[in-house]
Chain A
Amino acid sequence: MTDQHRPAATITPYEDGPLLLRGDFEIVTPDGERIEPGRPTVALCRCGRSRVKPFCDGTHKLIDFHAPAGRQNSRLDPETD
């Protein structure tokens, strides 16, 4: 695959951690207001507990957050739903 066919931006889930966003991207609020990323590669919170959302601040390590690097395959549990 040549660079020409690569997507402009990629999102990579890291195991038990955030989503890393690389490439040519823009983060905007629903109103279209730009959220300054401050760096070429950013980490987006995926545990829900960061105090600097939408960015990661490392809090996932304090709350025993788990998520795979690939697609999660657990289905709805009929016992609890």
Chain B
Amino acid sequence: MRLPEARGDLSAAVIEALMSGRFEVARLPEVTDPLADEDLQLALAVCYELHYSGFDGVDDRWEWHPGLLALRGEIEYVFETALRQLTGPQPAVGAAEIPAALTALTAEQDGPSLARYIQSNATIEQFREFVVHRSLYQLKEADPHTFAIPRLTGRAKAALIEIQIDEYGSGRLARMHAELFRTTMGCLGLNTAYGAYLDRLPAVTLAVTNMLSMFALHRRLRGALVGQLAAFEMSSSLPNSRYGNGLRRLGGDEHATLFYDEHVEADAVHEQIAAHDMCGSLVAEHPELAADVLFGAAASEALGGRASAHLLDSWAAGRSSLREVSGQGRPAQTDQLAGVAS
């Protein structure tokens, strides 16, 4: 993928280093809300992408550059501190109480719901925006959680593998969830290349994938990573049913909606495995990780909620929820769903 445009001094310093090959120590700016700061979240996203696909024309050795890693560590400290403040302290419950605690954290809330809005009211352009927001994660769906495999043992590891096998379509490319999402993007006339819309994603969206990467790349945070996965799975079946219905209402055919339809049944399986067999077993073996499991779930719900609220608020105000960028990286402006006979 291409390097994005900078959004401030910090992201400019990181991007400039990757382009020029010379790293100059950057100072962390004072930020009021790290979870919504465009400059900080983009800088962190660029640091993390070096561990996934890298950037066109950038030396892959930057992934382990000590200076850049030190800067990333400073950003992560600010990010993790803000996440823990947002979610508050979590109780160190026993293994038997973990599934119920996760269920309570992920219960459907009253009030405005992105899934309900998309099911009944979203325009095709708003649906495209929704898909663009999800694309940075969904085109690498399940990859961050794969980092947890060598860090787990016993039943928790077996449970994670059982989930991941399904995420990766049992090894069949056409059934891989990331590929199903690519198909949905194509049906909507969107650019399916990984990272194509990075410049258009606001900080509240980047914060969600950055949280996943932070949990994934630190063994210390393995409890939060599996708790986050459980929260994802436990708040997925019902919303995905609504997203699929919304796309059908807008004229999407069975290929376009397969990603959502697949997740209704898949995540009804995964949520049981994740809550009981993965998180429950991990806490049974490592009681000291209980609070972090719940932290990961609470952080996932909180950041997901902030991102969803941004979409609803933007649309209610008659605005796009994506960042305005001059030039490239814009979603297709077609009014018809590609692949839908008219």
- With A18-B269, A20-B272 given, name 9 new contacts (CB 8 A): A14-B272, A15-B276, A16-B103, A40-B166, A43-B272, A52-B264, A58-B241, A61-B107, A61-B108
CB distance from A70 to the nearest CB of B (A): 13
User: A58–B264 contact, CB under 8 A?
Assistant: yes
- A16 to B238: give the CA distance in the assembly, Å: 16
Residues of B with Cβ closer than 8 Å to A? 99, 103, 107-108, 162, 165-166, 170, 236-238, 241, 262, 264-269, 271-273, 276
User: B265–A20 contact, CB under 8 A?
Assistant: no
Nearest A residue to B241, CB-CB: A57
- A58 to B267: give the CA distance in the assembly, Å: 8
CB distance from A45 to the nearest CB of B (A): 9
User: A52–B170 contact, CB under 8 A?
Assistant: no
CB distance from B104 to the nearest CB of A (A): 11
Nearest B residue to A42, CB-CB: B269
Counting chain A residues whose Cβ lies within 8 A of the other chain, the interface size class is 20 to 34
Residues of A with Cβ closer than 8 Å to B? 14-18, 20, 38-43, 51-52, 55-59, 61-62
* Pick from B103, B162, B264: contact of A61, CB under 8 Å: B103
User: B170–A20 contact, CB under 8 A?
Assistant: no
Query: In the assembled complex, which residues on chain A have CB atoms less than 8 Å from the CB atom of B262?
Result: 38
* Pick from B108, B165, B236, B265: contact of A42, CB under 8 Å: B265
- A38 to B166: give the CA distance in the assembly, Å: 10
A-B contact pairs, 22 of them (CB 8 A): A14-B272, A14-B276, A17-B272, A18-B268, A18-B272, A20-B269, A20-B272, A38-B262, A38-B265, A39-B265, A39-B266, A42-B269, A55-B265, A56-B269, A57-B237, A57-B238, A58-B236, A58-B237, A58-B238, A58-B267, A58-B271, A62-B238
Query: In the assembled complex, which residues on chain B have CB atoms less than 8 Å from the CB atom of A43?
Result: 265, 268-269, 272
- Known contacts being A40-B170, A59-B238, A61-B103, is A20 close to B273, with CB within 8 Å? yes
10 smallest CB-CB distances across A and B, nearest first, come from: A58-B237, A56-B268, A14-B272, A43-B269, A43-B268, A55-B265, A58-B238, A58-B268, A57-B264, A39-B166
- A39 to B166: give the CA distance in the assembly, Å: 7
Query: In the assembled complex, which residues on chain B have CB atoms less than 8 Å from the CB atom of A15?
Result: 99, 276
Main secondary structure of the interface of A (DSSP, over half): loop
- Known contacts being A57-B237, A58-B267, A61-B108, is A41 close to B170, with CB within 8 Å? no
- A56 to B276: give the CA distance in the assembly, Å: 17
- Known contacts being A52-B265, A57-B238, is A41 close to B273, with CB within 8 Å? yes
Query: In the assembled complex, which residues on chain A have CB atoms less than 8 Å from the CB atom of B99?
Result: 15
Query: In the assembled complex, which residues on chain B have CB atoms less than 8 Å from the CB atom of A58?
Result: 236-238, 241, 264, 267-268, 271
Query: In the assembled complex, which residues on chain A have CB atoms less than 8 Å from the CB atom of B107?
Result: 61
User: A57–B170 contact, CB under 8 A?
Assistant: no
- A70 to B265: give the CA distance in the assembly, Å: 23
- A59 to B267: give the CA distance in the assembly, Å: 12
CB distance from A12 to the nearest CB of B (A): 8
Nearest B residue to A56, CB-CB: B268
User: A61–B238 contact, CB under 8 A?
Assistant: yes
Nearest A residue to B272, CB-CB: A14
User: A41–B166 contact, CB under 8 A?
Assistant: yes
User: B268–A55 contact, CB under 8 A?
Assistant: yes
Query: In the assembled complex, which residues on chain A have CB atoms less than 8 Å from the CB atom of B273?
Result: 20, 41
Query: In the assembled complex, which residues on chain B have CB atoms less than 8 Å from the CB atom of A14?
Result: 272, 276
Query: In the assembled complex, which residues on chain B have CB atoms less than 8 Å from the CB atom of A20?
Result: 269, 272-273
Report which residue of A14, A43, A58 has the largest number of chain B beta carbons within 10 angstroms of its beta carbon. Answer: A58
